[in-house]
Structure 1
């Protein structure tokens, strides 16, 4: 959701940190300074342990045979390597590491990436990162079989003013669903795409699950904001997530697709309004690409993940705003989804959960003709209670004022089963999609 601000929280945060530091005792300051010196030198009080941060698996176009690992360190210059071994195997394969560090928000991010290939579908592996005679602990990495049944976690906008709610909800969702195979975050991952502090807070929410299952990131409009709340190209997002390549020269990794089991996923970029001032042609390029992509990669189930929603809602106190189909998103994409026989479309952006059932040719269809449209809700603490007036297409909404929520999707041979849960685990909606 778009919002204008006349100040930045960064100023407040820096002032608060400065005040807290000034109030701290001298001994504590010396202890912290010493620990920081050790960290910057790559030395730590526990020998043979490699300390890294924000370790994450990123989805690839073929997760049955490959995976991308990304992480950060507090200093550069380490000669790092990824070691990976198959379950119950002694042989260890060593994968080279690429330095993908970048500078943004006046911060140098010491980031590294490893691309692992030659994996076997339906197999379990362990991996770790080594450097300077130290190593991380071993982590799990599993690849899907071609016809695997599995569960997926889906998170709406995690955009927050304080990420404590997001972190708690994401950790609870993972604790209840540790049998999950992968997870998706549907855009507006942070409130301000240039704010490094917000990115580190976002990553804390996914820290446990991102070590062991792949992430499916989706770009939102807030990823395109700079510190002055003006739009820019989504530099931080594109650096943090090395998603599958789409063959574009102008919009590489803005959008992508991948297969997981019997599902083909299409991840679209809906930020043409924010990006058109810098580059044009995003919508046209995706319209041509999605037809080629589905022709080459169609699976039994075909699912779209995108940030902005396809419907326009009326707003409380704004009688001039009508209900209908969103002109920039819905009118463009819904006919294409009909044409390409998409099964489910997941959206976000409006910070409210709405199950609209199946829609075809802009009309509700009771017999599962056309895609099922799920507006996924809100996962952060930026909420808009009682803002939206119910749309005629809505079948299920959450009680107002809404709190944060997450979704699961179970993929089976004969059905997709999607459920919505509150942070405390209360189930609020469940819907099945079957093939005619």
Structure 2
């Protein structure tokens, strides 16, 4: 049974307030220094178990399950997750699986636990090792028909992750009532670079402990330190996403339910991955039909990294405007067929609201999915590179800065808003369903 003593929205906000950037205007570097001093003290305090990059990852049904992942500085045996309902007696324990791996010459001592939950409950959890334990963190299991907010972050790849960390912290500070977030691929600039991954995770440090993440793989996750293509080894280790039943492409793509929305997360890296193994697109095309038949929700939303449209490029007259051949031509007819409501893409580092598209044409009477190209959240930008597409309804002024999105979900409508780092709203669109 759900705990009636705490309002769900207040619970989520309390989780965010525990670690959000609300320190009287302090600069991010000052806050990082304070965290460093705190973390050093925790390491030296008896009975405190110190873990890094503690995060929640979506399960196939987020109301009934959650994946927890974290790292430690050296191997630790017999780690457990303790889970309790907020305000209730009794603790359940889940054994942690040792999921360590080596990449970029670094041994990453990582552990993973899968929790089963009851929808509507507000929980607390902590990691234990012997007599030591972390502090309690918050976790919420949504019900099927409730309203909620999602945070959406475009490409965070950076040469210096200061902009990404600033944007992510501010977005969370303004939206601590969000219950889930997604990062739309190109999480890092170089998929093998361990330092870049640790910097990426700093940006989402507060929110990832309290709300689940739905990661999307980008093409930059497939690059090695020599900037040659490899399989996305680090990404696949860092995120234990829901199983898709694939022999060759487990964790490359997946789906999950949150409330009354079914999310389909596609992998668009067939060009890069095709240097090692084939069949990714064909497998996903067969899978998505089975997946949509098996999951009947009121709303269907697709998250995919590479975009569906092709833009003309300044200085390249041979580049024409149209539909992207590798992704748009393949997936847009499927989205029309299966009744997808919204498609979020990334990759081009520019925000574009295209409205509804159906049959490769602008949808009459809002027919077809709403297509949103989400923008950029890191410091790698392409100012004035793309010439506006005829389908674009809203674009951000050039040269663009970072942005993030919020999505508010109710039974009858989904509202999406685009914001600059300072909180200025740049676009707002509403999708309805009767």
Partners in 2 of 1:180 and 1:386 — Cα distance? 32
Q: How does 1:380-399 map to 2 (within 5 A)?
A: 380-399=378-397
Structure 2's unaligned 5+ residue stretches are 1-36
Q: From the CA coordinates, give the structure whose radius of gyration is larger.
A: 1
Partners in 2 of 1:297 and 1:44 — Cα distance? 45
In the superposition, the TM-score normalised over structure 2's length comes to 0.90
Q: How does 1:401-416 map to 2 (within 5 A)?
A: 401-416=399-414
SS in 2 for 1:84: strand
Q: Counterpart in 2 of 1:59?
A: 58
Partners in 1 of 2:349 and 2:87 — Cα distance? 45
Q: Counterpart in 1 of 2:105?
A: 106
> In the comparison of the two structures, how many residue pairs are matched?
397
Q: Counterpart in 1 of 2:76?
A: 77
CA positional deviation for 1:79:
2.5
Partners in 1 of 2:374 and 2:44 — Cα distance? 44
Q: Counterpart in 2 of 1:352?
A: 350
Partners in 2 of 1:391 and 1:44 — Cα distance? 54
The one-character-per-residue Cα deviations of 1:308-347 (angstroms, maximum 9, x if unpaired) are: 0000000001100000000000000000000000000000
Partners in 2 of 1:77 and 1:262 — Cα distance? 39
Q: Counterpart in 2 of 1:280?
A: 278
Q: Counterpart in 2 of 1:94?
A: 93
Partners in 2 of 1:139 and 1:68 — Cα distance? 14
SS in 1 for 2:277: coil
Q: Counterpart in 2 of 1:434?
A: 432
The one-character-per-residue Cα deviations of 1:67-107 (angstroms, maximum 9, x if unpaired) are: 00000001113321110001111101111000000000000
CA positional deviation for 1:366:
3.9
Partners in 1 of 2:405 and 2:188 — Cα distance? 19
Q: Deviation above 6 Å: which 4+ runs of structure 1?
A: none
Partners in 2 of 1:47 and 1:273 — Cα distance? 51
Pick aligned residue for 1:421 from 419, 423, 428:
419
Q: Counterpart in 2 of 1:161?
A: 159
SS in 1 for 2:387: coil
Partners in 2 of 1:331 and 1:434 — Cα distance? 26
- 1:237 aligns to 2:235 (yes or no): yes
Q: Counterpart in 2 of 1:373?
A: 371
Q: Counterpart in 1 of 2:48?
A: 49
SS in 1 for 2:371: strand
In the superposition, the TM-score normalised over structure 1's length comes to 0.90
Moved more, 75-84 or 50-59: 75-84
Partners in 1 of 2:182 and 2:140 — Cα distance? 17
CA contact (8 A) 2:62 2:257 kept: yes
SS in 2 for 1:44: helix
Partners in 1 of 2:357 and 2:296 — Cα distance? 21
Q: Counterpart in 1 of 2:320?
A: 322
SS in 1 for 2:333: helix
Partners in 1 of 2:419 and 2:293 — Cα distance? 34
Q: Counterpart in 2 of 1:189?
A: 187
Structure 1's unaligned 5+ residue stretches are 1-34
Q: How does 1:260-271 map to 2 (within 5 A)?
A: 260-271=258-269
SS in 2 for 1:110: strand
Partners in 2 of 1:382 and 1:189 — Cα distance? 12
Partners in 2 of 1:134 and 1:165 — Cα distance? 35
CA positional deviation for 1:298:
2.4
Q: How does 1:161-240 map to 2 (within 5 A)?
A: 161-240=159-238
CA positional deviation for 1:257:
0.3
Q: Counterpart in 2 of 1:142?
A: 140
Q: Counterpart in 1 of 2:14?
A: none
Partners in 2 of 1:433 and 1:116 — Cα distance? 33
The one-character-per-residue Cα deviations of 1:272-319 (angstroms, maximum 9, x if unpaired) are: 000011010000000000000001102110000000000000000110
SS in 2 for 1:308: coil
